[in-house]
Amino acid sequence: MKKGLKFGLVIAMALAMVMAFTACGSGNSSSGSSDKKYIIATDTTFAPFEFEDKNGKRVGIDMDLLKAIAKDQHFDYTVKALGFNAAVQSLESDQSDAVIAGMSITSERKKKFDFSDPYFDSGVGMAVKANNTAIKDYSDLKGKTVAVKTGTEGATFANENKAKYGYSIKTFEDSANMYEDVKSGNSAACFEDYPVLGYAIAKGQPLKLVGKLQAGNSYGFAVHKGKNAELLKKFNKGLKNLKDSGEYDKIVNKYVKKK
């Protein structure tokens, strides 16, 4: 009987230790008020919204806003730069908690994702080589090739107006290769979200904006539909606080100058 009691005591103590270790292991290194560390997926390069500076630090409107909102709302996160398509796929498969990547809020995407309040209003611009004098408007693109980046407002606009203007479309995974295709003459022009085009030209891309700027959709922070409602609530609250304090304008104006 004593032997049985001793054995039972040993088992009870072992179970207690396992539970204690399990409790410790379930936490993380979050410095915020919540022990949840969110995984936020983003694009690799979509300047001025996300890109690496000369020191290899990931910066841009999206990255700076996310950092400021997380500080305001006391949550911890890690960023995974996967490329736009891969970032969206990671959210669909629940490998990430959210996406911030200059992602346009569209009715089609709302079927799969819940979006934050809009944090940036964008549109579409057309760019050609700086020395190109033949293309001045969309009507000059008939029979020519237009370059676009997948998942952008520019790609949506290109597909919607392909029949109207009679051009063919070449799709790229990143803006850098899209610009190179225009500079090399393989594509006559590119359609891109105009803040991105404007930033690229200001930073030395030998391109120029032509034609009329087209209205587009706003950008939003996205989570998988029906999931991470608390994170979305924090983002919206933090975004409002940044706008009220003037911090939002300060971040945006750092990358995109107001006219």
Read off the pLDDT of residues 79-128 as tens digits, 9 standing for 90 and up: 999 999 999 999 999 999 999 999 999 999 999 999 999 999 989 999 99
Query: Residue 3: its pLDDT value, please?
Result: 40
* Cβ–Cβ under 8 Å, residues 213 and 123: yes
Could you give all domains of the chain from N- to C-terminal order, each with its CATH number? 38-119+220-254 (3.40.190.10), 122-217 (3.40.190.10)
SS3 content of the chain, % helix, strand, coil (to 5): 40, 25, 30
What is the predicted pLDDT for the residue at 153? 87
Taking all residues of the chain, what is their mean pLDDT, rounded to a whole number?
87
pLDDT recorded at residue 31? 41
CA atoms within 13 A on the CB side of 203: 13
Using left for φ > 0, alpha for ψ between -120 and 50, and beta otherwise, residue 71 falls in: alpha
More confident residue, 9 or 197: 197
Strands 120-129 and 189-193, by their bridges, are antiparallel
CB 59 within 8 A of CB 51: yes
Nearest-5° Cα angle at 91, 171 to 224: 120
- Between CA 168 and CA 212 the distance in angstroms is 20
The H or E element containing residue 229 is helix 229-245
Q: For strands 98-99 and 37-42, give the pairing.
A: parallel
- Residue 74 is predicted with a pLDDT of 97
In this predicted structure, what is the pLDDT of residue 98?
A: 99
Please enumerate in sequence order all residues whose Cβ is within 8 A of that of 181, keeping only pairs 6 or more positions apart, or say none: 147, 170, 172, 187, 190
Q: In this predicted structure, what is the pLDDT of residue 247?
A: 98
pLDDT at 34: 58
pLDDT of residue 257: 62
30 or 186, which is more confident: 186
pLDDT at 107: 93
Non-local CB neighbours of 53 within 8 Å, separated by 6+ positions: 59
Which residue do the tokens 């359609």 mark?
Answer: 191
Which of 88-97, 204-213, 228-237 shows the lowest per-residue confidence on average (mean pLDDT)? 204-213
pLDDT in tens, 129-185: 999 999 999 999 999 999 999 988 899 999 999 999 999 999 999 999 999 999 999
> In sequence order, what are the residues at sequence separation of 6 or more whose Cβ sits closer than 8 angstroms to the Cβ of residue 209?
125, 126, 127, 194, 197, 198, 201
What are the angstrom distances between the C-alpha of 77 and each of 49, 70, 91, 110? 18, 8, 15, 24
CA-nearest of 13, 16, 23, 81 to 50 is: 81
Which residues on adjacent β-strands are paired with residue 222? 99, 115
- Predicted TM-score (pTM) of this structure: 0.75
